[in-house]
Amino acid sequence: MNNIFIRKEFLLLPGLAALAVFGNSFSAQAQTVIPAESQQLTESSATVSADTEAQNQDSAIAYPISNATETQQFPSVNTQDTATRIITPVPGTVATTSATLAPEYVEPSAQPSAIPSSTSTIAQSDIDPGRPTRGGRSYIGVAGNIGISGDDSSLSDGNFAAISKIGLTNAISVRPSAVFGSNTTILVPITYDFTLQAADAFSEPLAIAPYIGIGAAIKTGDESQVGFLASGGIDLPLNAQFTATAAVNAGFFDSTDIGLLIGVGYNFSGF
């Protein structure tokens, strides 16, 4: 019996050894098996990656100059160069307006305006008694009065008179005068002086200077009275020292007295 069991054990040992070797060989082969679906996905991914890399290389070869130009014109574009490919800008980040090329506007600083000092001289038309007017210089002189109408004052009779002109501004003057007689009449007109221009604009004004004005006529004597006076006439400069003058004066008293004064005056300047 013992021999039978020993023989059986010897017979089983080779079988177990063969089974162990066969099992180890089968396990090694099972570890290297790849499912069909995973193999297909891996192959397709490798194909797509190869195609994408080929397209990027073609684009880099076909448009190297345009990409460099865009990078210079638009430095803010998000473009990154790598050793193998060029990443194109993301849509919406490329500048599409010319405002990015225009220089930034800098508002000029406001310069303080020149403020005239309070001591600066301002041109004014001041009254300067005795100054020359555009009708001529101021003067004082004598004249003869010729009565034209009326009988209330010496203005309507032939009498001796004292005349004058006192310039106030360039165009305004006062011309007080006195007509002597039985009842002396004082005339105080304020006149506006004119200048006559020649036909040629480049020639000097004519020497004749007309004037017109209004004022007061004062009659003295027992029946003294103050009336309205209207006066008008012309001045004619004779030389630097003398001026000839002629004027018509009308005094409105109870009746209107009118007289014509003709005289000559001595020129002066200021007081």
- The pTM of this model reads 0.52
Region 106-132 average pLDDT:
62
Give percent of the chain above pLDDT 90. 35
Residues 54-72: pLDDT tens digits?
A: 555 555 444 444 444 444 4
- In terms of Cα–Cα distance, which of 148, 163, 180 is closest to 255? 148
255 pLDDT above the threshold of 60:
yes
Take residue 153 and report the two structure tokens written for it. Answer: 């004052």
Question: How confident is the model at residue 94, as a pLDDT?
Answer: 61
Task: Give the CATH number of domain 139-198+205-267; options: 2.40.110.10, 2.40.50.140, 2.40.160.20, 3.40.50.720.
Answer: 2.40.160.20
Cα 148 to Cα 142: distance, rounded to the nearest angstrom: 19
Asked whether 245 and 233 are in contact (CB, 8 A), the reply is: yes
State the burial class of residue 169 (Cβ atoms within 10 Å of its Cβ: 0-12, 13-18, 19+): middle
DSSP string, 80-109: EE-SS-EEPPPTT-S--SGGGTSPPP-PPP
Give Cα separations from 41 to 22, 30, 33, 46, 155 (angstroms).
33, 21, 15, 9, 138
Residues 142-190: pLDDT tens digits?
A: 999 999 998 888 998 999 999 999 999 999 999 999 999 888 999 999 9
Which is higher by pLDDT, 75 or 99? 99
Question: How confident is the model at residue 202, as a pLDDT?
Answer: 58
233 pLDDT above the threshold of 60:
yes
Please report, for the chain, the start and end positions of each structural domain, with discontinuous segments joined by +.
Answer: 139-198+205-267
Asked whether 164 and 139 are in contact (CB, 8 A), the reply is: yes
Give Cα separations from 202 to 163, 198, 199 (angstroms).
34, 9, 9
Q: What is the mean pLDDT of the chain?
A: 73
- In terms of Cα–Cα distance, which of 218, 210, 147 is closest to 189? 218
203 pLDDT above the threshold of 70:
no
